[in-house]
Amino acid sequence: LAKTTQPISMDSYEGQEVNITCSHNNIATNDYITWYQQFPSQGPRFIIQGYKTKVTNEVASLFIPADRKSSTLSLPRVSLSDTAVYYCLVGDGDTGFQKLVFGTGTRLLVSP
């Protein structure tokens, strides 16, 4: 099974940029890297997905180096409402199907 490694927790202040890095050494050639956000007692919410280089949308950017063994989610100017758990996911390198393997995620705490 593909595995990801993220920091367990991070702290930040409102208005700062937050970068969360994830390592995924066993990523399959054709798999995408996907990030989700989860608030307590809610389902995860898709944030961003990429294959290589850089992807940007209205809420975040995703940086992926050429070897694709890691990725960095960048949240610009965080607010209190960005306090949540962030999950980095890659496909299961063995099955290739849309099998999301969630790790423990990174718990981000944004303070005033």
Partner 1 sequence: ETGVTQTPRHLVMGMTNKKSLKCEQHLGHNAMYWYKQSAKKPLELMFVYSLEERVENNSVPSRFSPECPNSSHLFLHLHTLQPEDSALYLCASSLDQGNSYEQYFGPGTRLTVT
Cβ 91 to partner 1 shortest distance, Å? 6
**Whose Cβ is closer to partner 1: residue 37's or residue 70's?**
37
Contact footprint for partner 1 (CB under 8 A): 28, 30-32, 34, 41-46, 49, 89-91, 96-105
Cβ 32 to partner 1 shortest distance, Å? 6
Q: What is the residue-wise DSSP string for the chain?
A: ----B--SEEEEETT--EEEEEE-TT--TT--EEEEEE-TTS--EEEEEESSEEEE-SS-EEEE-TT-SEEEEEESS--GGG-EEEEEEE--TTT-SS-------EEEEEE-
**Whose Cβ is closer to partner 1: residue 75's or residue 89's?**
89
**Whose Cβ is closer to partner 1: residue 10's or residue 28's?**
28
